[in-house]
Amino acid sequence: MRMRPTKLILIIPVALLVVFFYVPLISILQTGLWDNGPTLKFISSVLVNSYHRRVIEFTVAQALASTVLTLAIGLPGAYIFAKYDFPGKRTIRAVLTVPFVMPSVMVALGFILLFGRGGIITDLIGHDLGILYSWKGILLAHAFYNFPIVVRMVSALWQRINPHYEEAAMTLGARGWRLFWRVTLPMLSPAIFASAMLTFVFCFLSFSIPLIIGGYRYATIEVDIFTSIMTLLDFRTGAALAVIQIVLSMVFMYLYLKSLDAYAKREEQRVMQRPRRMTLSELASLKGSLIITYALFIFIFIVSPLLAVLYDSLHFNGVWSLENYRRIFSAEYDPMFGASTLDAIRNSLTFGFATVFLSLLTALPIAYSMHRWNFRGKRVFDVLATLPLASSAITLGLGYIRVFSGTALYYTPWLLIAAYTIISYPFVLRTVSASLKKIRPNLWEAALSLGAKEWKAFLRVELPLALGGLIVGSIFAFAMSIAELGATYMLAKPEYTTMTLAVYKFLGARQFGSASALAVLLMLISTAGFLLIERTGEEVW
Amino acid sequence: MVSVELRGIQKRWEDFALTIERLRARDGELLTLLGPSGCGKTTTLRIIAGLEKPNSGEVLFDGTPVNDLPPYERNIGIVFQDYALFPHMTVFKNVAFGLEMRKLPRMEIERRVKRALELVNLEGLENRYPEQLSGGQQQRIALARALVVEPQVLLLDEPLSNLDAKIRERLRSEIKRIQRELKITTIYVTHDQEEAMALSDRIAVMNFGRIEQVGKPLELYHHPKTEFVARFLGSSNILELKAENGVVRLGSLRFNVGISGRVKMFFRPESVRVKEGNDAHVVDYEILPGRVRFKLKIDGKVITSEGLLSDIPFDIEEPPKRVGVEISTFAIL
Ligand SMILES: Nc1ncnc2c1ncn2[C@@H]1O[C@H](COP(=O)(O)OP(=O)(O)OP(=O)(O)O)[C@@H](O)[C@H]1O
Ligand SMILES: [Mg+2]
């Protein structure tokens, strides 16, 4: 009998996507656009409301501003990384991975501890910089998360620009800025545009950061949906906002994917230029000191929120102490969110692993079929499988409340895991597909000619070669699931409280010490993920 | 071993069509597909392997259609131009792969891998990874990997084109030795006519997705049926002449061609022997290592002759103005 992988392998992924993404999505569309027939009245009532309109404008504006700030911080780094080797470069490069795995609740907490009243930097300078609870804090935190993307994507392309172009232009008389503007920049633009689009989309859909350090005045659409549903119980408004958000983010996501195509095409020209080792005298020059200053700056930028959290967790009433840790593990604190800290740790880990498992179960068959087969409607299928990228956790949470409340699934951890899977599987799909694409088709054909059936050739030859991408994708899925706040808040019964949710609740109760102690534990888990990514050596984007 | 036959094969892409009415590689034979870049050699090979589905036509192994068999059930061995060694597997694992797929016992696998590595003269590299091998070594591993499963058919797609000239010649004779030793039906793809001449039992010359002519190397060389084949295999003399009563006249020379009217007469420079006499005018000459090439004019037509220096019956430093000419082998295109 012949064993050939059939379209049957797509049954599980398609079922998961339909039940946990498309049905909830349709329910949201129905809530937002239907009242005994199609209607735009909920949408328009959101649009005429000055608060919601301001939120929408602010969401776009802060995403734009965050993107500009991110580019401003990231582009010099891209240049330095592409062109120079300097002492400590490896460390800095590794540190750039940290934001990918750090939960935003923790980073928000770090910002509070640095810039808040009585914060470390506030104390140091002697007055409040007004960063917290304003748009400045939001922008800074967004830059923290996204500038590594810019550094990595742009420097990767910069290294591959054939030096002959620049040399040819120089012989034709272009020099300095003119050379950069006329020759280098146009060749870099796909990377700049793709990384900027990605940054923009992330900032547009940002939740935890504006929720915690933006306050009521600086809400994004995502936060607005959340408060509409959770505090005002106004599902119509929530759904209308969600529809507006989905439409906008689909447009942005489309632009991002287009720009990514252009980027991938450019990246293929593999003229790798080794960065130049800087000599000691160069390091001492103006250029050298600028580079060192920049490296130091980004190191401090990334590490300081984390250190602030660590420092705070080890202080109680102004003295060094382990009291915070004792407290979070003591029984008297359980009633606070209905689960002990150990429960929260266990929940985070089990949900995380379950998410990785389900994400792989969803992403692998889709990646395989897109990689291997040509079938009718492949493009449509591709779009439908990628669409979850344009949705958000809060939107999913809303959809799940509409669809599953009253069913047996409601209030089970499965709904949480499903939500985590839907938001994180596209990343697994992307990293795995990207790795598969890099494998020469010959290898697969050689395996077939040697008697390997299709699935065996895939398992024995292609999958091992795509392992780096698979591991990085899995770590992402894990990191996203343990960092998720909004949908968890909306859907979790108290005993399914996760570490992230617990940190948030400690924050809400203004118990910063306990929040920090728990956040440090979260940080340890994230660090394990970070070390794993470093070991695979796979490019993250 | 088996014979491989293609019947009525058609394969179409937007800007390319492959058509093979009939092509047969006999049992144990080394058949070469020879042709310029883009003529469809690789495509033909991939159709035989089952890696490409033809739009129509049949592939037969020993008279049995294998069209519906996937590659992994055709019992073939392929060596790709870039070898396609699995980068994450050691040499041993690479060579053992096909045997593992056939679920042979461990001992048997080890024995056969060892023998295959001996066959290609590469013992002792079992634990290296492909990237730790030279191009020539990688090429042999790829060959061992293809051969170890004892395939019915061996398919080689320009297996030597990524190597430098010296290694190429050595591996060429090695491939031929192994092929003779195993008597395995082999289809060999190349665009290098020298390689094809040196290796093949028979050659199929391809052009623009069609087979122009199939035959033994010398038969194609001296008796091509088309101008393309004539020119592709080496330097040629092609003359447009008139035949009367089945006889072509070129100066004082006469050739029985059996037909009348305008003919295109073909012969190789090596078929033109220069001797003492008065048939042709010497236009120019060129001395090559051990050989000499003459440009001669007969009856207003310029022809080239090439021969061993030692066969020239006069002092080459001072050749006569006119020489005698004998054309041993010719063909009508
Ligand atoms: N998958 C494909 N899709 C479209 N066209 C193809 C495909 N594969 C091959 N072709 C076209 O078919 C023609 C023959 O290709 P093929 O690879 O068989 O040539 P070849 O004789 O092996 O050439 P070379 O010596 O360059 O390897 C080429 O014009 C090529 O562009
Ligand atoms: Mg080819």
Angle between helices A221-230 and A235-268 (to 10 degrees): 150
Question: A122-165: per-residue pLDDT in tens?
Answer: 888 888 788 888 899 999 999 999 999 999 889 988 888 777 77
Nearest alpha carbon to residue A426 among A476, A379, A464: A476
Which of A4, A137, A125 shows the shortest CA–CA distance to A66? A137
Residue A156, classed as helix, strand or coil, is: helix
Contact A451 B145 (CB under 8 A): no
Residue ID of nearest Cα to ligand 1 atom 25: B37
H helix intervals, chain B: 41-49, 91-101, 106-119, 135-147, 165-182, 193-199, 217-222, 227-233
Task: Check which CATH number belongs to the domain holding B203 and give it.
Answer: 3.40.50.300
Q: Hey, is the C-beta of A372 within 8 angstroms of any chain B C-beta?
A: no
Tell me: pLDDT of A528 over 90.
Answer: no
Could you tell me the distance, in angstroms and rounded to a whole number, from the CA of residue A164 to the centre of ligand 1?
31
Q: Is the pLDDT of residue B244 over 50?
A: yes
- Clarify whether residues B222 and B257 are in a common domain: no
Q: Which of A1-10, A380-389, A493-502, B156-165 has the lowest mean pLDDT?
A: A1-10
Quote the CA–CA distance of B293 and B277 in Å, as a whole number. Answer: 17
Is A450 in contact with B88 (Cβ distance < 8 A)?
A: no
The tokens describing B47, both together, are 């159709």
Nearest CA to A158 out of A100, A229, A220, A77 is that of A77
pLDDT of residue A541: 47
Q: Could you tell me which chain A residue has the CA closest to the CA of B83?
A: A442
Which of the two residues, A83 and B107, has the higher pLDDT score?
A: B107
C-alpha span between B77 and A448 (Å, rounded): 10
Between CA A490 and CA A397 the distance in angstroms is 6
Distance from the A519 Cα atom to the nearest Cα atom in chain B, whole angstroms: 39
Task: Identify the pLDDT of residue A537.
Answer: 64
**Cα angle vertex A471, ends A468, A473, to 5°?**
105
Residues B261 and B207 in one domain: no
Domain count, chain B: 2
Decide if B126 touches A, using CB distance below 8 A.
Answer: no
Residue A216 is predicted with a pLDDT of 75
- Measured between alpha carbons, how far is B200 from B215 in angstroms, rounded to an integer? 10
Interface contact A317, partner B, CB < 8 A: no
- pLDDT, position A287: 84
User: How many CA atoms does the CB half-sphere of B156 hold within 13 Å?
Assistant: 32
- Give me the residue from B72, B149, B155 closest to A448, CB to CB: B72
3-state DSSP call for residue A482? helix
Q: Does A449 touch chain B (CB under 8 A)?
A: yes
Burial bucket for residue B251 (CB in 10 Å: 0-12, 13-18, 19+): middle
- pLDDT tens, position by position, B295-326: 999 988 899 999 998 888 888 788 888 899 98
* pLDDT reported for residue A1: 38
A458 CB neighbours in chain B (<8 A) are none
Averaged pLDDT for residues B222-240: 92
Nearest to A105 by CA among A212, A250, A249, A227: A212
Tens-place pLDDT, residues A253-271: 889 888 888 887 776 655 6
Q: How far does Cα A269 stand from its chain's mean position?
A: 28
Residues B199 and B254 placed together within one structural domain of the fold: no
R_g of chain A, CA atoms, integer Å:
24
A vs B: CB pairs below 8 A:
70
The residues near A99 (Cβ < 8 Å, ≥ 6 apart) are A107, A144, A145, A146, A148, A302
What residue of A is the nearest CA neighbor of B82?
A: A442
Atom of ligand 1 nearest to the CA of B40: 18
Q: Does position A539 have pLDDT exceeding 70, yes or no?
A: no
Chain B interface disruption, residue of A438, A449, A465, A536, most B CBs within 10 A: A449
For residues B278 and B317, membership in a common domain is answered with yes
Distance from C-alpha of B259 to C-alpha of B242, rounded to nearest angstrom: 10
In this complex, which of B70, B75, B78 lies closest to A446 when CB atoms are compared? B78
> How many other CB atoms sit within 10 Å of the CB of residue B164?
10
Closest partner residue to B82 among A442, A452, A461, by Cβ?
A442
pLDDT of residue A139: 95
How many Å lie between the centroid of ligand 1 and the Cα of residue B18? 10
Residue nearest to atom 2 of ligand 1 (CA): B13
Residues B272 and B134 in one domain: no
The better pLDDT of the pair A131, A107 is held by: A107
- Give the pLDDT mean for B67-77: 92
Per this entry, what is the length of chain A?
A: 541
Q: Write the residue with the smallest CA distance to atom 5 of ligand 1.
A: B13
Q: In whole angstroms, what is the distance from residue A90 CA to residue A53 CA? A: 45
* pLDDT at residue B1 greater than cutoff 70: no
Closest chain A C-alpha to B152 CA, distance in angstroms: 12
Identify the CA nearest to B288 among candidates B313, B269, B266, B275.
Answer: B269
Residue nearest atom 11 in ligand 1 by C-alpha distance: B16
Kindly indicate the confidence band of residue A336, based on its pLDDT and cuts at 50, 70 and 90.
low
B53 alpha carbon, closest ligand: 1
Query: pLDDT averaged over chain A?
Result: 88
The answer to whether residue A331 scores a pLDDT higher than 70 is: yes
Supply φ then ψ for residue A197, to 5 degrees: -65, -40
| pLDDT of amino acid A2 | 45
Choose the final residue of a domain: B184, B214, B232.
B232
B86 and B63 co-located in one domain: yes
Q: What angle do CA B155, B159, B163 make, to 5 degrees?
A: 175
Which residues share a beta bridge with B264? B240
What are the tens digits of pLDDT across the range B151-177? 999 999 999 988 888 888 888 988 999
Residue A434 CA to ligand 2 center (angstroms) comes to 26
Return d(Cα B4, Cα B204) in angstroms, integer: 14
Tell me which of B232, B260, B291 is where a domain ends.
B232
CA–centroid distance, B44 to ligand 1, in Å, is 10
Residue length of chain B:
333
Pocket test for ligand 1, best of B42, B52, B205 (most atoms within 8 A of CB): B42
| Cβ-contact B147, B77 below 8 angstroms | yes
Nearest to A192 by CA among A245, A135, A151: A151
Final residue of a structural domain among B232, B256, B273: B232
Q: Ligand 1: which residue has its CA nearest to atom 24?
A: B37
* Closest listed residue to residue A267, CA positions, set A199, A198, A191: A191
Q: What's the pLDDT at A217? A: 83
Any chain B CB within 8 A of the CB of A459? no
User: What are the C-alpha distances in Å from A60 to residues B11, B185, B248?
Assistant: 53, 68, 88
Contact call for residues A343 and A405 (beta carbons, < 8 A) = no
Does A335 have pLDDT greater than 70?
Answer: no
pLDDT digit string, tens, across residues B141-157: 999 999 999 999 999 99
State the ipTM, two decimals: 0.81
User: Per mean pLDDT, which range of A38-52, A161-175, A204-218 is the poorest?
Assistant: A161-175
Cβ <8 Å between B101 and A449: no
User: Is 90 exceeded by the pLDDT of residue B61?
Assistant: yes
Residue A270: the pLDDT is 56
> Is this structure's pTM higher than 0.80?
yes
Average pLDDT over chain B reads 91
**Is A54 at the interface with chain B, CB within 8 A?**
no
Window 48-87 of B: residues touching A by CB (8 A cutoff) are 49-51, 70-78, 80, 82, 84-87
CA B189 to ligand 2 centroid distance, Å: 8
Separation in Å, CA B330 to CA B9, B127, B230, B246, B327:
33, 55, 11, 15, 7
Shortest-distance atom of ligand 1 to CA B191: 25
Of A450, A453, A454, the CB nearest to B98: A450
Lowest-confidence segment of A332-346, A517-531, B122-136, B256-270 by average pLDDT: A332-346
| Of A530, A536, A373, A508, nearest in space to A444 by CA | A373
What percent of chain A has pLDDT above 90? 54
- Candidates B49, B84, B101; nearest CB to A452: B101
Dump pLDDT digits (tens) for A5-53.
577 889 999 999 999 999 999 999 999 999 988 999 999 999 999 999 9
Task: Verify that B139 and B27 share a domain, yes or no.
Answer: yes
Q: Which two tokens stand for residue B1?
A: 């071993």
**Given the CA of residue B41, which atom of ligand 1 is nearest to it?**
21
Nearest residue by C-alpha to atom 22 in ligand 1: B42
Provide DSSP, A293-336.
HHHHHHHHHHHHHHHHHHHHHTEETTEE-SHHHHHHHSGGGGGG
Q: What is the structure's pLDDT at B198?
A: 92
Please name the residues in contact with A225: beta carbons below 8 A apart, sequence gap of 6 or more. A238, A241, A242, A245, A394, A395, A398
B242 and B200 share a domain?
no
C-alpha to C-alpha distance for B224 and B231, rounded to whole angstroms: 9
Judge if B228 and B241 occupy the same domain: no
| Token pair in block for residue B156 | 């080689």
Q: B26 exposed, middle or buried (CB, 10 Å; 0-12, 13-18, 19+)?
A: middle
Cα angle value A242/A247/A251 (rounded, 5°): 140
**Within this chain, do residues B257 and B222 fall inside the same structural domain, yes or no?**
no
pLDDT tier, A280 (very low <50, low <70, confident <90, very high otherwise)? confident
Q: Do B84 and A465 touch (CB under 8 A)?
A: no
Domains identified in chain A and CATH numbers: 1-39+314-541 (1.10.3720.10), 41-102+136-271 (1.10.3720.10)
- Residue with more model confidence, B33 or A184: B33
pLDDT of A282: 79
A448 contact B CB<8A: yes
Q: How far is CA B311 from the centre of its chain?
A: 30
How far is the C-alpha of A75 from the C-alpha of A353, rounded, in Å? 35
B89, closest residue in chain A (CA to CA): A461
The model's confidence at residue A398, banded by pLDDT at 50, 70 and 90, is very high
Question: Which residues from A are below 8 Å from B80, CB to CB?
Answer: 442, 445-446
CA B57 to chain centre: 24
Q: Are residues B222 and B117 in the same domain?
A: yes
Mutation pick for ligand 1 pocket among B10, B39, B191 (CB with most ligand atoms within 8 Å): B39
Distance from CA of A445 to the nearest CA of B (A): 7
B307 and B166 within one domain: no
Amino acid found at A183: V
The H-assigned helical ranges of B183-240 are 193-199, 217-222, 227-233
The answer on pLDDT for A3 being more than 50 is: no
Please check whether residue A190 is in contact with residue A259, taking contact to mean a CB–CB distance below 8 angstroms.
Answer: yes
User: Among A440, A448, A461, whose Cβ lies nearest the Cβ of B71?
Assistant: A448
Determine the average pLDDT of the residues in A272-282: 77
Domain of residue B209: give its range: 4-232
- The three-point CA angle B44-B45-B50 to 5° equals 100
B283 within 8 A of B246, measured Cβ to Cβ: no
Calpha distance B137→B162 (Å, rounded): 12
Which residues in A336-347 are b (16+ Cβ under 10 Å) and which e?
Answer: bbebbbebbbeb
Q: In angstroms, how far is the first alpha carbon of chain A from the final one?
A: 41
